[in-house]
Amino acid sequence: EDQVTQSPEALRLQEGESSSLNCSYTVSGLRGLFWYRQDPGKGPEFLFTLYSAGEEKEKERLKATLTKKESFLHITAPKPEDSATYLCAVHNYGQNFVFGPGTRLSVLP
């Protein structure tokens, strides 16, 4: 059965303090790994898709990387507006997307 775990469960950073979020996965056949941002009371917002080990994607202060077993979301010099829950999901060779439980990030001014 496909599984996605994320760590840490919650993370508090000072503004400007860089860190990384982890997404570990087991999947029968990976078609893509996706990162989403979710604000309270809203639906997840798409950030990145990664398809193969070694691939990297960047957007503003966020950078996502992928290995055969895990993905990292690196946050460089975060700002308070980066506070959100970050979700990781894998797309397998069925058509389902399996989500992890998320990491709740708080960035303090």
Partner 1 sequence: DTGVSQNPRHKITKRGQNVTFRCDPISEHNRLYWYRQTLGQGPEFLTYFQNEAQLEKSRLLSDRFSAERPKGSFSTLEIQRTEQGDSAMYLCASSLSGGGYSPLHFGNGTRLTVT
Residue 101 in the binding site for partner 1 (CB under 8 A): yes
Interface with partner 1 in residues 9-28 (CB under 8 A): none
Evaluate whether 7 touches 100 at the Cβ level (below 8 Å): no
Q: How far apart are alpha carbons 78 and 61 in whole angstroms?
A: 7
- Under the phi-then-psi rule, with left for phi > 0, alpha for psi from -120 to 50, and beta for the rest, what region is 50? beta
Q: How far apart are alpha carbons 24 and 69 in whole angstroms?
A: 6
3 state DSSP class of 8 = coil
Residue 54 in the binding site for partner 1 (CB under 8 A): no
Window 60-99: contact mask with partner 1 (x via CB under 8 A): ---------------------------x-x-x--xxxxxx
Evaluate whether 21 touches 34 at the Cβ level (below 8 Å): no
- Least Å distance, CB 62 to partner 1, is 15
Is 42 or 68 the residue whose CB approaches partner 1 more closely? 42
Site residues (vs partner 1, CB under 8 A): 4, 6, 31-32, 34, 36, 41-46, 49, 51, 87, 89, 91, 94-102
